[in-house]
Structure 1
Amino acid sequence: MFRRRPLIQILTLFALSLPAYAFDIPANHNNECVVLLHGLAKSKHSMKKLDKALQTAGYATVNYDYPSRSDSIPSLAETHINNALSQCPKALKIHFVTHSMGGILVRQYLADHSIPNLGRVVMLGPPNQGSEVVDKLHNLPGFEWIGGPSSLQLGTQENSTPAQLGPANFELGVIAGSRTANPILSLWLPGSDDGKVTVANTKLEGMKQHIVLPVTHPFMMKNRKVIAQVKHFLAQGQFATETIQGT
C-alpha cells in the first residue's frame, strides 16, 4: 500500500498534464469508413500517420493512392473517387479526410454525384479559392510537366476549377495552416499562409467550421494536433474550439 500511493499520484498528475489535443473521443466507429486523399504530387504514404490514427480510433479506412499529376481534376475525381468508394463496405457511413488538392477532388465529385451514406468531410490546407502560387507559376516553362494538368486548374481566376464548384452542401470542417516551409512562395501569398495556400483561400461558403493551426502545408497531415482535430470533427461534427486561433 505504501508503494502504490506515489504511483497513483504520479499517474493522476500525468493524466492531468496531457496536452490539449488529447481529446476524449470514443474509439467505436466500426460502422464508418474514412477515405483519405493526398494532395498534388504526394502519395498515400504522406497520409500514413493519419490513416493509422483513424484505424486506432476504430474507423475502417481507405488510404487511396492516385496519380495526381496524370490528368485533369474532373477526370481524377471521376475515376479515383469511384475506385476509393468501392473499397468501403456498402453499408458503412463514408467520411473523407483530404489534404490540399484532394479536397478539390471531393468537391468535384460531389458536384456531379451524391453519396447517400455520406458522413463528414475534413479538408487540410485545401485551395478552395485557388492559390496565387499557381497564378504566378503557371506560365513558367516546365510547370505543367512538374505538376501535371491538374496543377494548372488550381489558380484563383474565375475560370479555375475551385471557383467553378460552388459552396459546400455537405458537412465540412477545414483546417488551415499559418506557418510556411517555403518563405519564397509565401512572398506571393497575401496575408497568413502555409507556404502554398493563404488562410483566406482555404475557406468555402457553406462550411460548418474553420480553424487555423500553426502548421505548414507539406506536413500538416502528420501533426498531432491536426490529427486530433480531424478525429474530433469526424466524431463530434465540430472541432475542439479551445484550440481555434482564427476563423
Structure 2
Amino acid sequence: MLDFDQADSSGSETKDRKLKLYSYWRSSCAHRVRIALTLKGLEYEYIPVNLIKGGQFDPDFKEINPMGTVPALADGDVVISDSFAIIMYLDEKYPEPPLLPRDLHKRAVNYQASSIVLSGIQPHQNLAVIRYIEEKINTEEKTAWVNNAITKGFTALEKLLVNCAGKYATGDEVCLADLFLAPQINGAINRFQINMEPYPTLTKIYESYNDHPAFQNAVPEKQPDAPSTI
C-alpha cells in the first residue's frame, strides 16, 4: 500500500490532462517546481510524498522515481523526476513567460546560479545527508556541515549576482535562477537560521520574491501536506 497520500483524481482533466506533482512540503527541490508551475499558469494535482515517514521508499513511488526523491512530475505518460529537468521541460512546452533571458551573458549567469544551488548547496543539506551525519557523528557536526555549505554557496552567489541583479537575480524579470534561489534562501532563513546580513544582494531579491504571488503560493507552509503548526 502507498505510504503517500493519493489525491482525488476526479475532475482532473483540463484542456489536455492535469499535471501531477509528487511533492513534499519542505523539499526545496519540489518548491522550485511549484514556482515554475504557478508562473506558467498551469493547474496540477498535488500528490504528497511524506519523506519523514519514508513514503519515498514505497515500491509504488519507486516505480515513479527509482531514485526515491521528490519532485516527480507526471504529464500523461511522461514522467520526469529531477527538478532541473522538470523546469526545463515546462519552459520548453509552455514557453510563456520564458524562464531564460535572450541575453547570452544573463542566460549563462542563470545557469551558473542555478548550478551553485543545485550541486553546491542543496545536496549537502538534504534530509538523507544531514540524518546520516547526525547519526554517525553528532548534531553539532551536522549543523556545522550545513552552515558551511550554505555560507560558501551564498558567498559565491552574492559575488556572482551583485552587478547584474535588479528586482530579481538577473534583472527585473523572474528567470531560472530565481526559482532555485527562492527556496534555498527560504530554507536557509527558516530552517537553518542562517544570518543573511553578509548577503545584501540575496536579501534584496528575496524580498521581491516575498511580494510575488507565484512565489508566495509555493512556500512550504502553504502546501496541503504542511503541518498545521510549523
Tell me which protein shows more helix as a share of its residues: 2
The structure with the largest strand share of the pair is: 1
Structure with max Cα Rg: 1
